[in-house]
């Protein structure tokens, strides 16, 4: 029973009010109104003398209210419980000051409980209220009973003792309510934060899609101004009907093409016309449709230098897998305005390289087209063809192509490959300047961070400023995981479990469907549930974690160490449930995957406990019999055994268990039946 604070009660009626003061009472921040928000029908202020730490007594005004459904007894009991005045005399004193408030009212307010005829009836109803978890009603009925005249002294003493216990139960009731409110508030705050995070995740996803659209120019060039156009008839000799003529329009677009050769290169590549002469013929005809002064202005923007220098720069672009820019550069060398000073060998070299660049650019366009159409597998096949033709070292130097490859792998769920390709890309780019959204290097960082998160790796996710901004939940998630581990180590298992549930909410809010990350969290959940003896829940969490870690992910091998970690956690859950057979089995498997001295020691201990459980099991503990059952008569012991067996057999019947928990239920059923048979045999109980 909690300590009763020493309070010297000196009740002084300072002011009294009835319904006219109810509005003021409703707005005051008092404990009783926090506990019961119903409307106040009468209120007063009572001065209590409280002893300070210095030993002096200081008057302290305390509001006292009567709520709808209460009489003076109920309101006085509640007031005394709130102010630690846990004795009958204090309650009766408060009644003397609350009852007049009711007597002055024009109509007698109805109470929530009907009046009874005798003290015994009130005591009986109080007992029922206690059993139903209504300590305030029980306390009020005990006060009503104790107010009766002519009460038997022994009965009065019993009721006073019961009243003391009800005061204590009331405190426990309020504490439970406070905890429930706090939990509800936390859950509401967590749900709100999760909702906000989901909105941020949706906005981030939309921004990411816009970045990808800009990267590939998915917005199109329909709005671009046409500087020159040419109507053509292309001959198609690939059909079954022989040669056919197909009308096409070649265009030079402002802001898209740097000059007519650029436009000619694009047209030829788009129509698989891998011929250097076609590029120049088309460029020449488009150029004739441009004003001479404008055409001359465009020439002034070409690369300067002699033929060899310009060819070297074009080859550097080609080596960087910038086939489009390299092809246009070679085409300019071969043009009438650009070939001056070039030897025949240099012109032949540039012509060959131009055709090669056109071919590579065509294959690159096929890859890009499949990428735009979100045909991820087809895009990777096209990329492999390009890589085979151009050389892997060449393709890897193109940040855009590498980023698109990582994107394909991301969309296919090949997280390990996506992380690897994004990492290789970041090794080739410059780290200078500001990192902003939309840059290939920034997109690679974000893609790699998302892939790492899917793989359950939270160690290096928050190094980049923009990643912190994009994944606000990452910092919270890392903090929760670290704090939960500390709580587990300190055996604060309930707090750890709450943190893990919050972590799962963060993962959901970030819209991350990471099997490995969830398995990491579930292992911690299992460990906390194991220590809290939530056996069914712990087994479910561990089973999910083991299954997740045993299932290979696309492009990633199963890590035996991670599987071993999950098996160790499940073995601990089995051990705490006295399931030593499965505990030993899990530890043997964990040892085979990644043997450590710790696992070997756990396995030895589990083997020992398994032998003890099989040979010297405490059958009384299995049936959950009272510790002093052996002191009872033989008949009483037999009755207890049969009673507990029936109770536990109903509890552990496999048909009542969830599918995943049926093996545990069946094992418990066997143990209960075995314990009953063994104890009945030992005692020689009749009617087995």
**Domain interval for residue 532:** 471-616
In DSSP terms, 40 is beta-bridged to 67
Task: Tell me, yes or no, whether 92 and 161 share the same domain.
Answer: yes
* Residue recorded with tokens 């404990």: 31
Whether 329 is in a domain gets the answer yes
pLDDT of residue 381: 93
The residue from 467, 498, 521 where one domain ends is 467
pLDDT of residue 469: 56
Task: Tell me, yes or no, whether 413 and 432 share the same domain.
Answer: yes
Task: Tell me, yes or no, whether 81 and 123 share the same domain.
Answer: yes
Task: Tell me, yes or no, whether 516 and 604 share the same domain.
Answer: yes
Distance separating the N- and C-terminal Cα atoms of the chain:
44
Whether 37 is in a domain gets the answer yes
The residue from 435, 467, 499 where one domain ends is 467
pLDDT of residue 243: 60
Six-digit token string for 283 = 């460029």
How many whole angstroms separate alpha carbon 484 and alpha carbon 476? 12
Whether 266 is in a domain gets the answer yes
Whether 125 is in a domain gets the answer yes
CA torsion, points 298, 303, 305, 306, in degrees to nearest 10?
-80
Task: Tell me, yes or no, whether 678 and 590 share the same domain.
Answer: no
Q: Do the Cβ atoms of 523 and 569 come closer than 8 Å?
A: yes
pLDDT of residue 292: 82
The arrangement of strands across the sheet holding 8-17 comes to: 8-17, 40-51, 57-67
Task: Count up the domains in the chain and report the number.
Answer: 5
Strands (E), 99-145: none
Report the CATH number at residue 673. Answer: 1.10.287
Using DSSP bridges, classify how beta strands 57-67 and 226-239 pair: parallel, antiparallel or unpaired: unpaired
Whether 2 is in a domain gets the answer no
CA torsion, points 429, 433, 439, 445, in degrees to nearest 10?
60
8-state DSSP, 47:
E
Closest CA to 143 of 96, 183, 195: 96
How many whole angstroms separate alpha carbon 159 and alpha carbon 622? 39
How many whole angstroms separate alpha carbon 553 and alpha carbon 546? 14
Task: Tell me, yes or no, whether 612 and 479 share the same domain.
Answer: yes
Whether 223 is in a domain gets the answer no
How many whole angstroms separate alpha carbon 584 and alpha carbon 603? 6
8-state DSSP, 633:
-
Whether 532 is in a domain gets the answer yes
pLDDT of residue 465: 58
pLDDT of residue 4: 38
How many whole angstroms separate alpha carbon 343 and alpha carbon 308? 9
pTM for the whole thing? Answer: 0.55
Task: Tell me, yes or no, whether 256 and 365 share the same domain.
Answer: yes
Phi, psi for residue 17 in degrees, rounded to 5: -150, 155
- Give the pLDDT means over successive 10-residue stretches in the chain (688 positions): 38 33 35 53 84 80 87 89 87 88 75 79 89 90 87 88 90 88 80 73 78 66 69 66 67 75 87 87 85 78 83 88 88 83 89 91 89 91 88 75 89 85 81 76 81 70 55 70 87 87 76 75 90 90 90 76 93 92 93 91 93 89 87 89 90 85 89 90 79
Whether 100 is in a domain gets the answer yes
Task: Tell me, yes or no, whether 587 and 671 share the same domain.
Answer: no
Task: Tell me, yes or no, whether 351 and 482 share the same domain.
Answer: no
């Amino acid at each position: 029973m909690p300590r009763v604070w020493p309070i010297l009660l000196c009740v002084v009626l300072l002011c009294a009010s009835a319904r006219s003061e109810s509005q003021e009472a409703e707005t005051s921040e008092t404990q009783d109104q926090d506990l019961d928000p119903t409307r106040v029908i009468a209120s007063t202020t009572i001065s209590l003398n409280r002893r300070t730490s210095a030993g002096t007594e200081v008057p302290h005004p305390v509001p006292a209210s009567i709520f709808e459904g209460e009489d003076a007894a109920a309101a006085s009991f509640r007031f005394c419980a709130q102010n630690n005045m846990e004795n009958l005399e204090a309650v009766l004193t408060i009644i003397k000051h609350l009852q007049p408030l009711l007597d002055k009212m024009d109509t007698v307010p109805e109470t929530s409980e009907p009046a009874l005829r005798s003290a015994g009836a009130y005591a009986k109803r109080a007992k029922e209220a206690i059993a139903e978890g209504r300590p305030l009603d029980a306390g009020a009925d005990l006060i009503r009973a104790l107010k009766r005249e002519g009460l038997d002294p022994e009965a009065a003493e019993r009721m006073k003792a019961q009243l003391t216990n009800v005061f204590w139960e009331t405190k426990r009731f309020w504490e439970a309510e406070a905890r429930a409110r706090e939990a509800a508030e936390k859950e509401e705050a967590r749900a709100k934060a999760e909702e906000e995070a989901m909105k941020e995740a949706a906005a981030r996803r939309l921004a990411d899609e816009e970045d990808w659209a800009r990267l590939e120019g998915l917005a199109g060039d329909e709005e671009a101004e046409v500087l020159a156009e040419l109507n053509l008839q292309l001959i198609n000799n690939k059909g079954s009907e022989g040669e056919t003529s197909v009308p096409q329009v070649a265009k030079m677009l402002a802001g898209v093409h740097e000059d007519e050769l650029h436009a000619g290169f694009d047209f030829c590549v788009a129509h698989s016309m891998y011929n250097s002469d076609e590029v120049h013929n088309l460029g020449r005809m488009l150029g004739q449709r441009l004003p001479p002064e404008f055409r001359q202005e465009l020439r002034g923007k070409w690369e300067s230098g002699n033929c060899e220098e310009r060819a070297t720069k074009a080859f550097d672009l080609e080596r960087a897998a910038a086939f489009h820019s390299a092809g246009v550069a070679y085409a300019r060398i071969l043009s009438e305005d650009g070939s001056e000073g070039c030897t025949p060998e240099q012109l032949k070299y540039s012509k060959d390289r131009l055709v090669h660049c056109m071919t590579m650019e065509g294959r690159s366009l096929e890859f890009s087209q499949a990428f735009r159409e979100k045909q991820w597998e087809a895009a990777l096949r096209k990329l492999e063809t390009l890589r085979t033709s151009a050389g892997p070292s060449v393709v890897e130097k193109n940040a855009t192509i590498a980023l698109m490859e990582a994107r394909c792998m991301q969309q296919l769920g090949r997280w390990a490959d996506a992380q690897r390709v994004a990492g290789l890309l970041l090794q080739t780019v410059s780290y200078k300047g500001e990192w902003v959204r939309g840059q290939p290097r920034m997109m690679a960082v974000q893609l790699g961070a998302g892939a790492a998160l899917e793989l359950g790796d939270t160690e290096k996710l928050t190094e980049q400023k923009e990643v912190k901004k994009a994944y606000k939940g990452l910092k919270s998630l890392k903090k929760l995981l670290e704090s939960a581990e500390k709580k587990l180590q300190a055996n604060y298992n309930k707090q750890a479990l709450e943190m893990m549930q919050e972590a799962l909410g963060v993962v959901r809010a970030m819209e991350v469907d990471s099997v490995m990350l969830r398995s990491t969290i579930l292992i911690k959940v299992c460990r906390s549930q194991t220590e809290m003896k939530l056996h069914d829940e712990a087994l479910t969490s561990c089973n999910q974690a083991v299954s997740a870690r045993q299932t290979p992910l696309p492009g990633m091998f199963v890590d035996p160490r991670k599987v071993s970690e999950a098996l160790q956690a499940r073995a601990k859950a089995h051990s705490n449930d006295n399931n030593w057979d499965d505990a030993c089995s899990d530890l043997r498997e964990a040892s085979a995957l990644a043997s450590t001295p710790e696992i070997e020691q756990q396995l030895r201990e589990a083997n020992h406990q398994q032998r003890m459980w099989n040979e010297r099991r405490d059958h009384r503990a299995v049936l959950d019999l009272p510790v002093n059952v052996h002191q009872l008569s033989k008949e009483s012991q037999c009755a207890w055994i049969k009673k507990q067996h029936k109770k536990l057999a109903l509890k552990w019947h496999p048909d009542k268990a969830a599918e995943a928990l049926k093996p545990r239920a069946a094992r418990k059923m066997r143990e209960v039946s075995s314990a009953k048979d063994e104890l009945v045999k030992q005692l020689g109980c009749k009617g087995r």
